């Protein structure tokens, strides 16, 4: 078994948005690598799973894309966050923080039997 | 929320514009894997190994593509788009079917839409009056006129209803009659009406210029005011608004122009009236409590009262006017639609039946196409296509055809309605209101969708019922339809034949009605007769003697016109209505007026009988030498009423409608007053006994009737240039106009039943040809075993004719029922006329046998080897 963590349901979109927000325009490969690096390679993702999420975000208008040329002279699609994506990101970060806070309270709960 | 909307919108767009995205995605994924591999290579890994690792890290490309595709569009739209593509492909593969189907549906839906727009405006739309549901026409039921049914209204009775009935808000009366209007270059005679002051307010209509009548204008002497129609105002008075309040000349008298009413106001009983004048009852009329049923009456009920309550109250009042006096209330809507109602419903039902036949036929065609696609269905089912998806796919194809047919049909209906409106001779009430409005459009759209479902659902259901295993197993080359499938299609053929038979029988009944009506003994000879209405009005003709002199001189001039064989006039032309019903009686008859014999009364010139070729039975017509003597001529029936036992009562005396004694000088043959009714008893008097105000000239010519028109016109002009010369018509035209509605119904019914027959015979042909093709092997074997060709023909025809015969029997049963329903439209034809039914059955059997025989010949014509080889 790998020691690497699985991606929690629904958090990949947040990671993509945050990555694009932090790094600016980026292609799919770059986003995947960056997510792995940010997690200190603790997180393992199948790069392919990124694409349906990119499509969903683009359909929602959170990101936009256009074709360009990569640093290695390869044609690639470059994604960037949009204004409404920024709003969505803020909302999701907020929601995430609240969720982790609630979970943290449960974790911190004293054992009543003691 | 908004995000979800935007996403769905983009997915919708994705469903529509997706072609490039597939290659786009492939390229994007490819370059991602390349980058992963290059990274590995930079770390010093062998390229082959690097690619393997890159692919591993990336995951399954195909599964990415698949989930990408699922997300990109909306699944419903994608499925629909796929079905549409299949449907279009199917249509492209078989354009003849699609063309025939679309065109037949276009005709079917178009005809239905056109007839519906008629039904809608004539029967369904509320009348354009205020609260029309509270308006009722009243007719009186009088023992005196028991034979005539309900009759028009006595004005004294109407006044009492208004005074005594709690449930009645208002009562108004109408009496039509011509009006001569001066103005413009020459005077014109137009239809007019006499109405009480409340006439306009009862219908909730006000003149758009000027005012309605005042109560005091109903007094004799105050009634020289008029309200005219917008049409007349525009055509004769240049639409001059300053004329209101000023005098205009009507019937030679000055009338103050009180107001102008809009053209949209078409009151019942005065639908064509252009001039309205106040109804001023004479002292004598106001005192007549019996007879004088000469007015149409309309009542408006108070809100909250039912027509039953009103009728009960009216009948109480009626009882005071004599034993057995009653009344009847008829919703105004029925009066306006009148006789058109039954005919229109019949046409609507028939055209619906035609569309049903078209649908059934298309379903049958689709069924046979689908059966040959049974393997396809089986394979799809085996590969996991759900029944729902398969059902939708077939339905999409039928819907596509239905919608194109419907769109074409609406265009066709629009054109048909324009053609109908251009046929000005057709006298259907509210015809001018007929148009394709939103209601009609909605009807057409619903009909279209219904049609698509109707002819698509059954085949689609059959398609999904295919058992994949048995379909895949059955035969290596073809899939044949089971017994059940064939029975279903035979049932459909039976339905088509049954409906066609019913339509043909109804059309046949109408056709023989019209033929009999045209051949009926009218009692006169309409050929070569020209008619012209002449009306005398104004001060110069106030004296009866002046009118008598005018007609004397006119007759002399007309008889001198070259080419005129005979000429005369009468107060009412034959076949133009059962009018002026008043009793005649024998001297010393002690019975009350209402118990005596009512007859049609006519004042005529001596030449009238010769001009119309009305045969004399006994005695002679009245002559110039009868001036100064009190004489009369009776029709056969009228003479029989007075002297039941005598064959030749000429020379006897009786009392005429003017209560003066008359000597009977002759008896003439019966003449029809209404073409499709038995002739009424009629009394004729010489015109000089009571010189009329208005007559109809009849002129029999040697050449074509219109050869005398110019000279006739000139004769009238030279007599009095102030008289309007009205349009001349031949007697044949007048007779024809009274059958125009029947002709219209018959033309449409003929077209409907002919198309039904055509479609049904195509259906029979289709199924027989199909089953022959299916049994080719069997037929080949039979031939090889020595079956004769005639035996094979018989085999095929017998099978093909089975549903025809069953359908025919059912159709005749339906037609017997329908015949009762349309009884009122028939003339001297029994609803179960055996000749019509036998003729229809024969026609259908012959057409059906032909439709079977053609494919039967084709198969049996080939040789046995070819038939056996055929798969």
Contact indicator for B742, B517 with CB cutoff of 8 Å: yes
Q: pLDDT band at A1, cuts 50/70/90? A: very low
Kindly give, in sequence order, each residue whose CB lies less than 8 Å from that of residue B256, ignoring residues fewer than 6 positions away: B224, B225, B226, B245, B246, B247
Query: What is the predicted pLDDT for the residue at B17?
Result: 66
For residues B708 and B796, membership in a common domain is answered with no
Q: Is residue B769 part of a domain?
A: yes
Give the SS3 label for residue A25.
coil
For residues B703 and B619, membership in a common domain is answered with yes
Task: Decide if B32 and A70 are in contact by the 8 Å CB cutoff.
Answer: no
Q: Is residue B38 part of a domain?
A: yes
For residues B254 and B369, membership in a common domain is answered with no
For residues B740 and B839, membership in a common domain is answered with yes
Chain A residues within an 8 Å CB radius of B18:
none
DSSP state, residue B632: E
Joined tokens for residue A14: 């947040």
For residues B785 and B849, membership in a common domain is answered with yes
Query: What is the predicted pLDDT for the residue at B477?
Result: 46
Query: What is the predicted pLDDT for the residue at B790?
Result: 82
Query: What is the predicted pLDDT for the residue at B479?
Result: 45
Q: Model confidence over B420-437: pLDDT tens digits?
A: 877 656 666 677 777 788
Query: What is the predicted pLDDT for the residue at B564?
Result: 92
Considering CB atoms only, which of B11, B38, B60 is closest to A59?
B11
Q: Is residue B718 part of a domain?
A: yes
> Does B14 contact A at CB distance below 8 Å?
yes
Can you give the three-state secondary structure of B232-288, one letter per residue? Answer: HHHHHHCCCHHHCCCEEEECCEEEEEEEEECCCCCCCCCCCCCEEEECCCCHHHHHC
* Residue-wise DSSP of B95-110: HHHHHHHHHHHHHHHH
Number of alpha carbons in the 13 Å side-chain half-sphere of residue A101: 6
Query: What is the predicted pLDDT for the residue at B468?
Result: 60
- Average pLDDT in the B240-268 region? 89
Query: What is the predicted pLDDT for the residue at B213?
Result: 94
For residues B827 and B759, membership in a common domain is answered with yes
Query: What is the predicted pLDDT for the residue at A52?
Result: 85
Chain B residues within an 8 Å CB radius of A74:
31, 34-35
- Average pLDDT in the B580-588 region? 85
For residues B766 and B865, membership in a common domain is answered with yes
**Separation CA B39–CA A76 (nearest Å):** 16
Q: pLDDT band at B473, cuts 50/70/90? A: low
**Separation CA B394–CA B458 (nearest Å):** 10
Residue in chain A nearest B10 by alpha carbon: A59
Contact indicator for B661, B653 with CB cutoff of 8 Å: yes
Residue in chain A nearest B64 by alpha carbon: A48
DSSP alpha helix (H) spans, B677-721 = 709-719
Domains annotated for chain A, with CATH where assigned, are 11-108 (1.10.10.10)
Query: What is the predicted pLDDT for the residue at A50?
Result: 86
Joined tokens for residue A13: 């979109």
Burial B182-196 (b: 16+ CB within 10 A, else e): bbeeebbbbebbbbb
Task: Decide if A47 and B32 are in contact by the 8 Å CB cutoff.
Answer: yes
Q: Is residue B192 part of a domain?
A: yes
Q: pLDDT band at B602, cuts 50/70/90? A: very high
Q: What are phi and psi of B741, to 5 degrees?
A: -70, -40
User: Which residues of A fall below an 8 Å CB-CB distance to B?
Assistant: 27-29, 32, 46-49, 51-52, 55-56, 58-61, 70, 72, 74-77, 88
Chain B, 243-282: which have a CB under 8 Å from a chain A CB? none
Query: What is the predicted pLDDT for the residue at B100?
Result: 83
**Separation CA A24–CA A78 (nearest Å):** 10
Full residue range of the structural domain in which residue B50 is found: 2-73
Mutate one of B25, B32, B72, B73 to test the A interface: name it (highest A CB count within 10 A).
B32
Query: What is the predicted pLDDT for the residue at B773?
Result: 74
Q: Model confidence over B196-245: pLDDT tens digits?
A: 999 999 999 899 999 999 999 998 888 899 999 998 898 888 889 999 99
Q: Model confidence over B315-362: pLDDT tens digits?
A: 999 998 888 889 999 998 888 777 678 888 889 999 999 999 999 988
Chain A residues within an 8 Å CB radius of B63:
48
Kindly give, in sequence order, each residue whose CB lies less than 8 Å from that of residue B259, ignoring residues fewer than 6 positions away: B207, B208, B209, B210, B211, B212, B227, B244
Chain B residues within an 8 Å CB radius of A55:
68, 71-72
For residues B85 and B193, membership in a common domain is answered with no
Query: What is the predicted pLDDT for the residue at B19?
Result: 56
For residues B462 and B566, membership in a common domain is answered with no
**Separation CA B190–CA B523 (nearest Å):** 30
- pLDDT over threshold 50, residue B870: yes
Query: What is the predicted pLDDT for the residue at A114?
Result: 44
Contact indicator for B166, B313 with CB cutoff of 8 Å: yes
For residues B702 and B820, membership in a common domain is answered with no
Task: Decide if B64 and A48 are in contact by the 8 Å CB cutoff.
Answer: yes
Contact indicator for A80, A25 with CB cutoff of 8 Å: yes
Residue in chain A nearest B6 by alpha carbon: A60
Q: pLDDT band at B466, cuts 50/70/90? A: low
Chain A residues within an 8 Å CB radius of B59:
46-49
Q: Model confidence over B661-683: pLDDT tens digits?
A: 999 999 999 999 988 888 999 99
> What total number of domains does chain B contain?
5
For residues B653 and B682, membership in a common domain is answered with yes
Task: Decide if B57 and A75 are in contact by the 8 Å CB cutoff.
Answer: no
Q: Model confidence over A37-69: pLDDT tens digits?
A: 888 877 777 888 888 888 888 888 889 888 888
- Average pLDDT in the B755-778 region? 81
Chain A residues within an 8 Å CB radius of B58:
46-48
Chain B, 116-175: which have a CB under 8 Å from a chain A CB? none
Q: Model confidence over A55-104: pLDDT tens digits?
A: 888 888 889 888 888 887 888 889 999 998 999 899 889 988 898 899 89
Q: Is residue B469 part of a domain?
A: yes
Write down the mean pLDDT value for chain B.
Answer: 85
Cβ contacts below 8 Å, chain A against chain B, sum to 70
Q: Is residue B69 part of a domain?
A: yes
> Does B25 contact A at CB distance below 8 Å?
yes
Please tell me the pTM assigned to this model: 0.74
The residue from B73, B88, B115 where one domain ends is B73
Contact indicator for A82, A16 with CB cutoff of 8 Å: no
- pLDDT over threshold 90, residue B793: no
Q: Model confidence over B278-303: pLDDT tens digits?
A: 999 888 888 888 777 889 999 999 99
Q: Strand B631-635 relative to strand B661-668: parallel, antiparallel, unpaired?
A: parallel
Considering CB atoms only, which of A27, A46, A56 is closest to B58?
A46
Q: pLDDT band at B840, cuts 50/70/90? A: very high
For residues B223 and B236, membership in a common domain is answered with yes
- Average pLDDT in the B172-199 region? 86
Q: pLDDT band at B469, cuts 50/70/90? A: low
**Separation CA B535–CA B501 (nearest Å):** 52
- pLDDT over threshold 50, residue B688: yes
% of chain B residues with pLDDT over 90: 37
Q: Is residue B333 part of a domain?
A: no
Q: Is residue B334 part of a domain?
A: no
Query: What is the predicted pLDDT for the residue at B474?
Result: 53
Query: What is the predicted pLDDT for the residue at B476?
Result: 42
| B135 vs B64, higher pLDDT | B135
Chain A residues within an 8 Å CB radius of B31:
27, 29, 70, 74-76
Q: How high is the ipTM of this complex?
A: 0.85
Q: Is B567 exposed, middle or buried (0-12, 13-18, 19+ CB in 10 A)?
A: buried
% of chain B residues with pLDDT over 70: 93
Chain B residues within an 8 Å CB radius of A46:
57-59
Q: How far is B393 from chain A (nearest CA, A)?
A: 29
Of B8-17, B497-506, B811-820, minimum mean pLDDT range: B8-17
Task: Decide if A58 and B10 are in contact by the 8 Å CB cutoff.
Answer: yes
Give the SS3 label for residue B414.
helix
């Amino acid at each position: 078994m790998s020691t690497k963590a699985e991606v929690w349901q629904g958090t990949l979109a947040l990671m993509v948005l945050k990555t694009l927000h932090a790094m600016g325009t980026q292609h799919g490969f770059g986003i995947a690598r960056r997510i792995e690096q940010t997690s200190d390679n603790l997180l393992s993702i199948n790069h392919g799973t990124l694409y349906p999420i990119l499509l969903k975000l683009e359909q929602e208008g959170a990101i936009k894309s256009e074709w360009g040329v990569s640093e290695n002279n390869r044609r690639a699609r470059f994604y960037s966050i949009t204004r409404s994506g920024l709003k969505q990101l803020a909302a999701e970060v907020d929601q995430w923080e609240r969720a982790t806070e609630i979970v943290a309270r449960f974790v911190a709960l004293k054992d009543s039997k003691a | 929320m908004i995000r979800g909307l935007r996403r769905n919108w983009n997915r919708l767009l994705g469903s529509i514009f997706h072609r490039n995205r597939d290659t786009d995605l492939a390229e994007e994924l490819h370059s991602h894997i390349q980058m992963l591999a290059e990274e590995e290579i930079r770390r010093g890994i062998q390229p082959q190994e690097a690619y393997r690792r890159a692919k591993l890290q990336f995951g399954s490309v195909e599964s990415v593509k698949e989930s990408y595709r699922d997300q990109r569009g909306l699944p419903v739209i994608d499925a629909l788009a796929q079905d549409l593509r299949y449907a279009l492909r199917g249509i492209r593969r078989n354009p003849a079917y699609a063309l025939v189907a679309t065109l037949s549906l276009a005709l079917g839906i178009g005809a239905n839409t056109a007839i519906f727009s008629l039904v809608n405006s004539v029967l369904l739309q509320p009348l354009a009056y205020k609260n029309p549901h509270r308006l009722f026409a009243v007719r009186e039921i009088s023992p005196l006129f028991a034979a005539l049914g309900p009759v028009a209204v006595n004005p004294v009775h109407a006044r009492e209803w208004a005074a005594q009935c709690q449930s009645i808000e208002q009562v108004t009366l109408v009496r039509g009659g011509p009006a001569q209007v001066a103005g413009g270059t020459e005077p014109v005679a137009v239809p007019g009406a006499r109405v009480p002051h409340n006439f306009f307010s009862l219908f909730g209509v006000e003149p758009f210029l000027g005012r309605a009548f005042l109560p005091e204008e109903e007094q004799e002497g105050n009634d020289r005011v008029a309200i005219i129609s917008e049409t007349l105002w525009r055509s004769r008075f240049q639409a001059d608004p300053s004329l209101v309040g000023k005098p205009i000349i009507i019937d030679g008298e000055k009338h103050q122009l009180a107001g102008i009413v809009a053209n949209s106001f078409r009151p019942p009983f005065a639908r064509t009236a252009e001039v309205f004048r106040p109804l001023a009852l004479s002292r004598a009329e106001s005192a007549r409590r019996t007879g004088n049923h000469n007015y149409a009456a309309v009542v408006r009920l108070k809100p909250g009262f039912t027509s039953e309550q009103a009728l009960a109250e009216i009948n109480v009042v009626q009882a005071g006017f004599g034993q057995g006096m009653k009344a009847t209330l008829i919703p105004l809507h029925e009066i306006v639609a009148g006789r058109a109602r039954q005919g229109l419903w019949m046409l609507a039902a028939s055209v619906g039946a035609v569309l049903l036949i078209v649908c059934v036929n298309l379903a049958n065609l689709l069924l046979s196409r689908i059966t040959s696609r049974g393997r396809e269905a089986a394979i799809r089912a085996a590969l996991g296509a759900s029944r729902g998806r398969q059902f939708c796919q077939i339905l999409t194809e039928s819907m596509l055809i239905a919608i194109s047919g419907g769109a074409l049909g609406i265009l066709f209906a629009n054109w048909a309605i324009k053609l109908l409106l251009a046929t000005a001779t057709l006298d259907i009430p509210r015809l001018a209101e007929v148009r394709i409005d939103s209601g009609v459009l909605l009807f057409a759209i619903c009909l279209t969708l219904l049609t698509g479902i109707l002819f698509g659902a059954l085949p689609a259901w059959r398609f999904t019922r295919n058992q994949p295993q048995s379909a895949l197993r059955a035969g290596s080359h073809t899939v044949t339809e089971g017994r059940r499938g064939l029975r279903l299609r035979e049932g459909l053929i039976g339905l088509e034949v049954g409906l066609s038979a019913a339509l043909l029988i109804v059309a046949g009944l109408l056709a023989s009605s019209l033929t009999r009506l045209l051949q009926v003994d009218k009692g006169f000879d309409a050929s070569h007769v020209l008619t012209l209405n002449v009306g005398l009005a104004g001060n110069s003709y106030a004296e009866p003697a002046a009118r008598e002199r005018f007609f004397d001189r006119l007759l002399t001039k007309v008889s001198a016109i070259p080419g005129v064989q005979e000429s005369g006039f009468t107060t009412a032309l034959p076949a133009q209505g059962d009018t002026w019903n008043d009793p005649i009686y024998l001297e010393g008859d002690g019975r009350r007026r209402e118990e005596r014999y009512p007859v049609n009364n006519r004042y005529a010139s001596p030449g009238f009988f010769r001009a119309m070729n009305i045969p004399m039975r006994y005695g002679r017509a009245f002559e110039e030498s009868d001036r100064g003597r009190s004489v009369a001529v009776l029709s056969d029936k009228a003479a029989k009423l007075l002297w039941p036992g005598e064959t030749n009562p000429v020379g006897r005396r009786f009392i005429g409608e003017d209560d003066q004694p008359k000597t009977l000088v002759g008896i003439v043959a019966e003449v029809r007053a209404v073409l499709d009714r038995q002739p009424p008893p009629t009394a004729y008097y010489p015109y000089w006994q009571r010189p009329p105000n208005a007559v109809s000239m009849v002129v029999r010519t040697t050449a074509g009737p219109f050869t005398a028109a110019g000279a006739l016109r000139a004769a009238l002009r030279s007599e009095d240039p102030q008289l309007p010369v009205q349009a001349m018509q031949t007697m044949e035209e007048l007779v024809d106009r009274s059958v125009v509605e029947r002709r219209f119904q018959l033309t449409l019914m003929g077209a409907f039943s002919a198309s039904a027959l055509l479609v049904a015979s195509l259906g029979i042909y289709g199924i027989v040809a199909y089953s022959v093709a299916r049994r080719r092997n069997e037929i080949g074997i039979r031939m090889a075993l020595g079956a004769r060709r005639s035996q094979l023909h018989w085999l095929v025809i017998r099978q093909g004719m089975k549903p025809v015969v069953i359908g025919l029997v059912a159709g005749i049963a339906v037609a017997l029922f329908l015949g009762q329903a349309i009884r009122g439209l028939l003339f001297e034809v029994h609803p179960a006329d055996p000749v019509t039914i036998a003729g229809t059955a024969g026609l259908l059997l012959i057409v059906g046998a032909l439709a079977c025989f053609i494919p039967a010949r084709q198969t049996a014509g080939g040789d046995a080897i070819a038939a056996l080889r055929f798969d």
